Structure 1
Amino acid sequence: MGDALRHVHSGKVRDLYALDDGRLVVVASDRVSAYDHVLETPVPDKGRVLTQLSLWWFERLADVVPNHLLTTDLPAEAPPEWAGRAMVCERLQMFPVECVARGYLTGSGLADYRATGQVCGNPLPPGLEDGSALPEPIFTPATKAAVGEHDENVSFEAVERAIGAPVAAELRRLTLAVYRVGEQIARERGIVLADTKLEFGARPDGTVVLGDEVLTPDSSRFWPADSWQPGRPQRSFDKQYVRDWLTSPASGWRRDSGEPPPPLPDDVVQRTRERYLEAYARITGRPLGTVAP
């Protein structure tokens, strides 16, 4: 591809390429990660959903927080398969923390609550169940793990020690602000936004900027509002279908085996793809690949 476009990093889902002028090209692949493994089976169109949905949300969050998007016009060296799944972004100094907002109790937050009655130091009332709505959204940060490692929930005080109290407070404020806007818009479209994970970085002048992706099925839990019912696992528009299959007897895989997960069957791939496409269509009001009215 020449010196103008060089690969600098691959994460669980995204690949980063540097341009000579200092900008980054962020490419969302169709890779799927689950239980700290990158699966060998891709889900077609997944990367396009992540990128296009992030672009849709960036527009609606512009008054809440600046983001890293510069343009969707790709350099001439970009291969054709990047169309619809890549964006040119500014380079940021990323903060080493996963910024998570929860409005509902599930996942690792539910496990913490059952063990301690709290989530990341946030005390919660007794009697909550899987899927319960919280009295108000809470900030539950986590460490940012490398590929193959596991994010660990941490206290707000741990974030303060890592990046300083003023920046920690700003990340908490922005995370909860993004969640509240996203939760309201999703609810208007019949979707419960249970929780979401954000990443932020800093410009050279110290401005805090939203990076990576925002309010996608990879970074968030989306549940159909008409079937939400606390006390049981919820139907979801994210990769929970993949997680459920991996932990079912049908997969023959155990999380504690130390072995990589098996390939996904065709029907699991198709149903997961359908959930990503449905999430995009429900939120944006149009199918993937169509032009905004």
Structure 2
Amino acid sequence: MNAAIPAAPVLTGWTHAYSGKVRDLYVPDAGEASAEAPFTGRGDVVLVVASDRISAFDHILETEIPDKGRILTGLSLWWFEQLNVPNHLVATTVEDGVPAEVAGRAMVCKKLEMFPIECIARGYLTGSGLAEYRVSQTVCSLPLPAGLSDGSRLEEAIFTPSAKAEVGEHDENISYTQMVDTVGADAADALRKLTLEIYSRAEEIARERGIILADTKVEFGTDPATGVITLGDEVLTPDSSRFWDAQLWAPGQAQPSFDKQYVRDWLASPESGWDRASDTPPPALPADVVERTRARYVEAFERLTGATFA
């Protein structure tokens, strides 16, 4: 059970089409384009707006994190510039057609034919991969060496796909064979190579800044105009990746991360009074948890990009 998603803002030239855990999706209005609405009438683009919503334990919380949407968008735009991979960006500024009401947190993007797969690269063992490893010494059916613990670095990064779930549901880890059955052998091979290429490049960049990229999730679609597999959605943000402070990395325990860890920890603590196994939604977050979570997102942005978040 989730908190109700707030109504998406009304934007000139755009019609709200869908709201996810964090993002709102718009399609262009029908009609003639104008200076105020240059994308009106086009069927090949969408507007993706990152809200300040935050989710935890498959619930969308009623409390938002100020500036989170701007941080996620800013980081994604920065990473798109670092990666030599085709991406879905069309416009990112008001001058190029992004509505002023959502400037800084929105991107006009190519309308892709998305693959129903979450493409995940893991360079370290943690999370759901660790849980599977403890049972079978595998991750997504890939065998790993014995003796690994929470936070262990893998000899080389592995590709571990998952099947996309509906809002409020948990993505399901699948084997590469299951992925081939879903998207075909050629597409599966291309997606695996692109995902590992992105992880390798990003891991190197992050490490230069004293940050470990433990794992990351990326999404791809096919550009209908060219047939090229194209990187979409967000990329390498604290919502889609695990970033750890390299100086604090210590295998054998949970690693402090640059994400919503404060939110998860508080919800799981007796202080919250929330029973995760119940049907009740999570409670509102206290101000100090909101502020510490925001500060962690800002720190990730600033350490990775080298820019001050304003």
Give the TM-score taking structure 2 as reference length: 0.90
Residue of structure 1 aligned with 2:252, choices 221, 224, 231: 231
* Distance across 1 between alignment mates of 2:93 and 2:250: 43
Matches within 5 A, 1:1-293: 4-19=13-28, 20-22=41-43, 23-61=45-83, 63=84, 65-74=85-94, 78-80=99-101, 82-204=102-224, 205-289=226-310
* Distance across 1 between alignment mates of 2:282 and 2:100: 30
* Distance across 1 between alignment mates of 2:22 and 2:133: 29
Are the aligned partners of 1:5 and 1:77 in contact in 2 as well (CA < 8 Å)?
no
**Distance 1:56-1:76 versus aligned 2 partners, 3 A rule:** closer
Please list the CA deviations of residues 53-94 of structure 1 after superposition, one character each: whole Å capped at 9, or x if unmatched.
000000010x2x1000111134768352x1210111110011
* Distance across 2 between alignment mates of 1:190 and 1:72: 29
* Distance across 2 between alignment mates of 1:77 and 1:5: 10
**Distance 1:116-1:85 versus aligned 2 partners, 3 A rule:** same
Are the aligned partners of 1:120 and 1:154 in contact in 2 as well (CA < 8 Å)?
yes
* Distance across 1 between alignment mates of 2:12 and 2:69: 25
- Point out where structure 2 has 5 or more consecutive residues left out of the alignment: 1-9, 29-40
Shift of 1:235: 1.0
Give the TM-score taking structure 1 as reference length: 0.95
Are the aligned partners of 2:138 and 2:144 in contact in 1 as well (CA < 8 Å)?
yes
* Distance across 2 between alignment mates of 1:150 and 1:29: 20
Are the aligned partners of 2:23 and 2:48 in contact in 1 as well (CA < 8 Å)?
yes
Query: Which residue of the partner structure matches residue 38 of structure 2?
Result: none
* Distance across 1 between alignment mates of 2:70 and 2:98: 19
For 2:27, give the aligned amino acid. A
Please list the CA deviations of residues 111-162 of structure 1 after superposition, one character each: whole Å capped at 9, or x if unmatched.
0101110000111001111111011100111111111111111101111000
Q: After TM superposition, which residue ranges in structure 1, 4 or more long, deviate above 2 angstroms?
A: 1-4, 73-80
- Please, what is the CA RMSD of the aligned residues? 1.4
Shift of 1:206: 2.2
For 1:12, give the aligned amino acid. K
- Point out where structure 1 has 5 or more consecutive residues left out of the alignment: none
Are the aligned partners of 2:122 and 2:157 in contact in 1 as well (CA < 8 Å)?
yes
For 2:240, give the aligned amino acid. S
Shift of 1:258: 2.1
State, as a whole percentage, how many aligned pairs show the same letter: 62
Aligned length: 286
SS at match of 1:255: coil
